[in-house]
Each structure stands twice: as structure tokens, then as C-alpha cells.
Amino acid sequence: MSNYIINHLRELESEAIFVIREIAAQFENPVLLFSGGKDSILLTHLAKKAFFPAKIPFPLIHIDTGHNFPETIAFRDELVEKLGVTLIVGSVQEAIDKGRAKEETGADASRNSLQIVSLLDTLEEHKVDAAMGGARRDEEKARAKERFFSHRDEFGQWDPKNQRPELWNLFNGRKNYGEHFRVFPISNWTEMDVWEYIKLENIELPSLYFSHQRDCVVRDGVILANSEFITLKEGEAVETMTVRYRTCGDMPITGAVESTADDLDKIIEEIATTRTTERGGRADDKRAETAMEDRKKQGYF
Amino acid sequence: MDYQDIELLRFTTAGSVDDGKSTLIGRLLYDSKSIFQDQLDAVEASSKSKGFDYVDLSLLTDGLKSEREQGITIDVAYRYFATPKRKFIIADTPGHIQYTRNMVTGASTANLAIILVDARKGMLEQTHRHAFIASLLRIPHAIVCVNKMDLVDYSEEVYTNIVADFKAFSSKLDIKDIQFIPISALNGDNVVNRSENMDWYDGSTLMYHLETVHISSDHNLVDCRFPIQSVIRPHTLDYQDYRGFAGRIDGGIFKPGDKVKSLPSGFVTTIKTIELNGEEIAEAFAPMSVTMTLEDEIDNSRGDMIVRENNVPQIGQDLEVLVSWMSTTPMQARTKVVIKHTTNETVGMIKELKYKIDINTLHRIEGIDKVEMNDIARLSIRTAKPIFFDAYKKNRQTGSIIIIDEQTNETIGAGMII
């Protein structure tokens, strides 16, 4: 009987596909939140597998902060074309122009929390009742408490103390009018699982994830890409460094790591020996000990 | 290391303040190098600002603001670590009676339970509770860790007495495989490395057990059960007549060419292909997610189940269940509820409350008129349409239900079919 066991990557894959299929079956207007990062690329890959030979039966939503890496946008457009899925873009710039969101000022200004407004507006506009995302429990301590099916009230808020218990593989997606769900099919994956699976399945990624030369600014120990979105502080200088990204958010807040890992094997080896978490370079998490929980309660994913 | 070819083990830990659960988890994570420097730095800074003399590793698992403020675990926290042999998912749950529902939640997906006993205190009510929940949820393996051996001079006698007490109690339970290990989570004795202080113990370490416990027979490989999640119809020129049934296998081994029966229609046909992403699969078994195509055109839809012709589940509208009540609103007989079972959903009625179980003593409390939060009770449910089920004992997937409040849509109960 001992042959009837699947390895951990296939078990995680099977669990994620089950959850993605549940979303499609239980909701009327589900969407996939696509950030252009490796986790949402992985999620899109799993969605393709879940419904093949049919196309992915829901659109992708991308919240464009206007501060994206150009590589991310190019990759996104190519992927959407290849899969033949619908792409909906929610624009933070538009929200700012309409006066729905207010731009932060100062050298550390970020559009990270402004995304919440655009995200909630876009979900409402398209009457989305389930938005699935590539968040993982191992990423951050507030995310460790997330359910697969995470309920949001009519204001898009998360109530971490009053979450529905989730047992076996029975997911309760029932809701009242106006409420919606965030669903996280790859909750149980770790950073290492993601990379191993990307290798196993030969999934294409934006070039950002692999070692490259880039003009950078080091701020508070975080290596930031020099771009039009960043204002140099006194004493800061631009230098060319050999870097890669472990996560992929907005340009002004996503920290790079110095790395010469230019293929998947080297990246996996690097992660196996690294001593910091992948969000360790995220300036948005460093604002307070509970920065993520606070943003999630407001509707961040 | 060949990371790609390792198995996944899900285990649960339950514990209360001071029994060393957080220290044990911290030790497993730390010794398997799964704690990162920035996490450790954050926990160190946080411990220091709270005025602690030591690094409080529980701050690693307690993620919510209110948990960190109160210094308690409220909710189930999931932790991850891997060794060259296995990947582990820990469902870390609070151990106090008022969090029974969280323990039940964590236990529902676990292959193994770690039950902690303080060597100085021996068997306590909460040890009974944790063992009972492991048995109730039919976690196939349990490891009883007799912790804080350093505080009883690593005494063999203390350990042997606790093992005897536990065995006397657990003979009333139904756990297939129980192992006992004397440990000191604080000093690391028998956690990852063998203890030099207990030469009288010739068993293996906790980590060795976790890495080698035989889990391939944890899934039912005999009774074929395939609940249909959805029907895949591409509507493209290349796949004009394609009709695939998507789902996750809950039991048995399916192969192309197998004669199968579709429920509730009773129609018998043959499996044409089993596939995922266009790749054909020779044998599919739990917990694989696949797409099945059949030789005959059958009008199957979500909630239907594909089984073997000569091995069908029970089909009926009357369920006898043990339920763990999860809502602050007590349950009474004659309540209308929504029942979720596999991919099926139906309206149901709580017909009769039979008895509650005192989870500390395992005694039955008869003649009850309501069931309250954290109670474990036996009841009868009538469903509006027939469902296809097995006893929970036979299959944890096809034998479980959740009960949902029709008005609030909250999950209010978890049921195991007898």
C-alpha cells in the first residue's frame, strides 16, 4: 500500500485546486487578485490546471498603483493574452484623481495602503463576491490566522476575532447580500514550496526574481530600486548592485536582496540557507508590529 | 536535499499556559532552522519591551494584537517547518475547555496529535480532554510527550507511572497508535536530539517519530468515493463534446476502465479517463484532485458522487452524529439548519438531542434540552434530501458534516456521523 501516497507538493497542489474549484462553484462573481508577484502567478497556474481543458472561468483583477515595476506589467499582459482570460485593472491613480484616495507625502510616501480604496471600489463595481489571492500563512503573523475562506463584512473589513471555524475540507461560503469573501487557496504553502513547485512545473516568472544589475538606493537597511517614484534623502546615493527580488510589490517599498542566483536551482539553494523572511524587506510591514493586521482589518488582502 | 519528494504530515498540539507547548513548538522550529533571524529579532524586542527575562517563543505563534496583548492563544495558528524527510504543518491550538471548538477545528485535518503532560503534575483534566478530542476526531496517531522531565530529575519511575495512567485512560478511547516519549522541551532532551540524561529510555526522539510515522494508510484506500465538485464543459471547437467531472478523491483507488456507479441516479458506467491539466493519470486515490471522464453521457452535477458498483455508501436522510457545538447561541431540538456534506448542501432539522459527553470524564449526561458552545453531544438530524455518507470511523471526509445557521450563515457545529 505504501505506493499510494503523493508527495507534499502534489498534496498542496491538490488542496489548492480543490479550493479554487470550490470558489468557482460556490460564488457567482469570483475573481483572482493578480499582483504580478510569484504567488499570484502560481495561483493563476493552479487555476488553469483546475479547469483545463476549459478556460479559467473568472477574470483576473490587478490593482495598479502606478508604481509597478515595468517588468510586472509586461509579464501580466503576456500571461492574460496566453490564457485568454479577462483582465480588470483597478487604478490607484484614478482613485487619487477622483479624490477617493489621498496620496501620502514625504520621502517614505507609499501607495500601499491606498490600494485598499481602489481594491474595494473595483470589487464593488464588478459585484465581486469572492476575491481569491495568493497570500500565504507563513508570510506574516496576522496572515497565519487567516482562513481559506475569509469572510468580509459589507465594508470589506476583516474581523479576526470572529472568524468562522474551518473543518475538514468543508468550506462555508454562505453570506448575506453585500458581503464578500477573500479566499486563499495556497494558505498552506511556504516560500520554499512555492519555489520548488515553480521548478517542478516549469512556471515562467518575471525577470525581477532572478539576479540582475540594478541602480539602487539603500534606505534603513532595505535595498530599493531607484526610480521616478522615489525621492532621495540627504546622504543617500544611487549605486549599481547585483540583486534579485524575493517578493514583488510596488517599486518604492519592495526591498531587493543582493544575490547572484540567476536560475531556480540557485534560488532554492539561497532560500534554504537564508536567515530572513521574504517580507523582511517590505517597508510596508515595518511601520508597526501589527501593520499587516491593521491593514487587513480595513480590507487589504 | 531532495526536497521535492517528501511527504506532508499535519499535526496538532493542544495546551494551556505553562505546560510548555510554545516552548516545544519553538524548539522544533528552532532546531529545524525554521525560525528566521528577523522573526527572532522581532520576538526578542517584543519580549524585552514587555519586561521578560527570557525570549518568549509563544510570541512567534500568537499573531493577533489581542493575543499578544493578553499573552494567550485564542485561535488556531498554523506553523510550518520542514526537514529533509518531511514537511510539517502544525495546527497550534489553545488547550483550555472554553476553546474546545478551536481544538476540534485543528484536529479535523491532522494525521497526528501531540499530547503534552507535565511530568510534575501527571494526568490532568486537560490531558483527558486532549486525548478525547484526538480520539473523537479520529486522528490516527498520537504522541504523548511527558514534558519537563528535567524538573523531576529525569526519573524513570515518574515517567512509567504517567504512561500507565495514560494507558488506563486511553483504553476507553479509540486511538490506533499511541507512542510515549519523555522530553524536556526547554533543554531539548529527546526533542530533536537524544537525551543524555535518560539512558533508561531506549525509544526514539520526537522528531524521529514525526519524520518516520507511517501515514500512507491514513487515507481510506478501499472504499471508492468521488464527490463531484463541478462539471467542466469547455465549449471550444477542440473539446466540443468534452464533459469532465472535477473533484477530489475522498477514498479508494480509481482507474480508467473501472465500472462505476453514479449517485443518486444509480446509473452504471465505465471510467474513460482520469486526468489533470490534460495529463492522464493511471491510478487516482485520496487526496488527489482530478477530472474524470466517463464512457456514457450521464447527467451528473455538483453534489453527486461516483462510487464502485458493489461498494456504495449509505444513502439516507436520517443521520446520527456526534457534534461539537461552535456557536454562542445554544442549539435546541426542532431547529432548522443548513448541512454541508462533501460537495453537497441541504436543509436539515435537528430532530433530537440525545446526550452530552463530559469531555473530562467521558460520562454521558442524559436528558438535555440544549447544547451549548464547546459541548460535544449526540443528536439526530433529518435532511431534506438524501445524502451519500459513510461512518466517520470509516472515512473522515464522507463521514463529516458542518452545520450552518440559516439566518447568520455562520458555521455553528461540526458533526461526525456515527
Residues of chain A contacting B77 with CB distance shorter than 8 Å: 144-145
Predicted confidence (pLDDT) at residue A257 exceeds the cutoff of 80: yes
For residue B1, the model assigns a pLDDT of: 39
Of B61, B244, B404, the CB nearest to A172: B404
- The full DSSP string for B292-345 is EEESS-----TT-EEEETTB--EEEEEEEEEEEE--SSPB-TT-EEEEEETTEE
Question: In whole angstroms, what is the distance from residue B134 CA to residue B98 CA?
Answer: 17
**Interface probe, candidates B277, B290, B293, chain A, greatest A C-beta count within 10 A:** B277
Angle at B228 between CA A17 and CA B238, to 5 degrees: 75
- Tell me the shortest Cα–Cα distance from A96 to chain B, in angstroms: 31
Residues of chain A contacting B238 with CB distance shorter than 8 Å: 53
The residues facing A224 across adjacent strands are A217
- Other Cβ atoms less than 10 A from the Cβ of B415: the count is 26
**Interface probe, candidates A3, A83, A168, chain B, greatest B C-beta count within 10 A:** A168
For residue B111, the model assigns a pLDDT of: 94
Predicted confidence (pLDDT) at residue A158 exceeds the cutoff of 60: yes
B152 touches A at CB < 8 Å: no
Do the chains contact at A293 and B65, CB–CB below 8 Å? yes
Residues of chain A contacting B38 with CB distance shorter than 8 Å: 276-277, 280
Task: For residue range B250-274, list pLDDT tens digits in order.
Answer: 999 999 999 999 999 999 999 999 9
Predicted confidence (pLDDT) at residue A86 exceeds the cutoff of 60: yes
- The full DSSP string for B77-96 is EEEEEE-SSEEEEEEEEE-S
Query: Distance from CA of residue B73 to its chain's centroid?
Result: 18
Output the nine-digit C-alpha cell for B391. 461512518
For residue B68, the model assigns a pLDDT of: 56
B216 touches A at CB < 8 Å: yes
- Tell me the shortest Cα–Cα distance from A98 to chain B, in angstroms: 34
Q: Give the torsion sign (CA, B162, B168, B169, B174).
A: positive
Query: Distance from CA of residue B76 to its chain's centroid?
Result: 12
Output the nine-digit C-alpha cell for B127. 490531558
B349 touches A at CB < 8 Å: no
For residue A284, the model assigns a pLDDT of: 58
Do the chains contact at B8 and A161, CB–CB below 8 Å? no
For residue A279, the model assigns a pLDDT of: 62
Question: In whole angstroms, what is the distance from residue A74 CA to residue A70 CA?
Answer: 6
Question: In whole angstroms, what is the distance from residue B44 CA to residue B46 CA?
Answer: 5
Residues of chain B contacting A272 with CB distance shorter than 8 Å: 1, 3
DSSP A282: B
Task: For residue range A197-250, list pLDDT tens digits in order.
Answer: 999 999 999 999 999 999 998 888 888 888 887 788 888 888 999 999 888 777
Average pLDDT of each block of 10 consecutive residues along chain B (418 residues)? 73 77 83 72 76 67 58 74 91 82 91 94 89 94 95 97 94 90 91 93 95 88 96 90 96 97 96 95 96 94 96 97 94 95 97 92 92 94 96 96 95 96
For residue A2, the model assigns a pLDDT of: 47
Number of inter-chain CB pairs under 8 A, A vs B: 190
- Tell me the shortest Cα–Cα distance from B347 to chain A, in angstroms: 13
For residue B2, the model assigns a pLDDT of: 45
**Interface probe, candidates A28, A49, A85, A167, chain B, greatest B C-beta count within 10 A:** A167
Output the nine-digit C-alpha cell for B404. 450552518
For residue B293, the model assigns a pLDDT of: 97
For residue A130, the model assigns a pLDDT of: 96
**A75 touches A87 (CB < 8 A):** no
Task: For residue range A108-121, list pLDDT tens digits in order.
Answer: 666 666 778 888 88
| CB proximity under 8 Å: A 241-300 to B | 268, 272, 274-277, 280, 289-290, 293
Residue in chain A nearest B76 by alpha carbon: A145
B52 touches A at CB < 8 Å: no
Parallel/antiparallel/unpaired status of strands B141-147 and B177-182: parallel
Residues of chain A contacting B246 with CB distance shorter than 8 Å: 21, 50-51
Residues of chain A contacting B60 with CB distance shorter than 8 Å: 141
Amino acid letter, A217:
V
Of B8, B36, B101, the CB nearest to A11: B8
Predicted confidence (pLDDT) at residue A99 exceeds the cutoff of 50: yes
Residue A253: partners with Cβ closer than 8 Å, 6 or more residues away: A110, A112, A224, A282, A283, A284
Predicted confidence (pLDDT) at residue A101 exceeds the cutoff of 90: no
Angle at A37 between CA A36 and CA A42, to 5 degrees: 100
Question: In whole angstroms, what is the distance from residue B203 CA to residue B180 CA?
Answer: 9
For residue B47, the model assigns a pLDDT of: 74
A29 touches B at CB < 8 Å: no
Question: In whole angstroms, what is the distance from residue B153 CA to residue A89 CA?
Answer: 65
Angle at B146 between CA B179 and CA B87, to 5 degrees: 55
Residue B266: partners with Cβ closer than 8 Å, 6 or more residues away: none
Do the chains contact at A172 and B287, CB–CB below 8 Å? no
- Tell me the shortest Cα–Cα distance from A6 to chain B, in angstroms: 7
Do the chains contact at B239 and A53, CB–CB below 8 Å? yes
The residues facing B311 across adjacent strands are B308
Do the chains contact at A5 and B215, CB–CB below 8 Å? yes
Mutual angle of helices B125-136 and B156-170, in 10-degree steps: 50
| Domain spanning A8-193+289-298: CATH 3.40.50.620 | yes
Predicted confidence (pLDDT) at residue A251 exceeds the cutoff of 70: yes
Parallel/antiparallel/unpaired status of strands B177-182 and B344-357: unpaired
Q: Where in chain A is the domain with CATH 3.40.50.620?
A: 8-193+289-298
For residue B21, the model assigns a pLDDT of: 83
Residue in chain B nearest A269 by alpha carbon: B1
Dihedral Cα A107, A111, A112, A113, nearest 10 deg: 110
Output the nine-digit C-alpha cell for B392. 466517520
Res. A19 pLDDT band, cuts 50 70 90:
very high
Segments of chain A assigned E as strands: 30-33, 60-64, 87-91, 130-132, 149-152, 180-183, 212-219, 222-225, 239-245, 256-258
**Bond preceding residue A165 cis, omega within 30 of 0:** no
- Tell me the shortest Cα–Cα distance from A188 to chain B, in angstroms: 8
B84 touches A at CB < 8 Å: no
- Tell me the shortest Cα–Cα distance from B242 to chain A, in angstroms: 9
B217 touches A at CB < 8 Å: yes
Long-range residue pairs from A245-248, CB within 8 A, at least 24 positions apart, any chain: A245/A208, A245/A209, A246/A191, A246/A209, A246/A271, A246/A278, A246/A281, A247/A37, A247/A38, A247/A278, A247/A279, A247/A281, A247/A282, A248/A35, A248/A36, A248/A37, A248/A38, A248/A69, A248/A72, A248/A206, A248/A208, A248/A209
B417 touches A at CB < 8 Å: no
Closest listed residue to residue B201, CA positions, set B190, B215, B187: B190
Task: For residue range A266-297, list pLDDT tens digits in order.
Answer: 998 888 777 666 665 555 555 555 666 666 66
Question: In whole angstroms, what is the distance from residue B148 CA to residue A299 CA?
Answer: 43
Domains and CATH numbers, chain B: 3-212 (3.40.50.300), 225-308 (2.40.30.10), 314-417 (2.40.30.10)
For residue A1, the model assigns a pLDDT of: 40
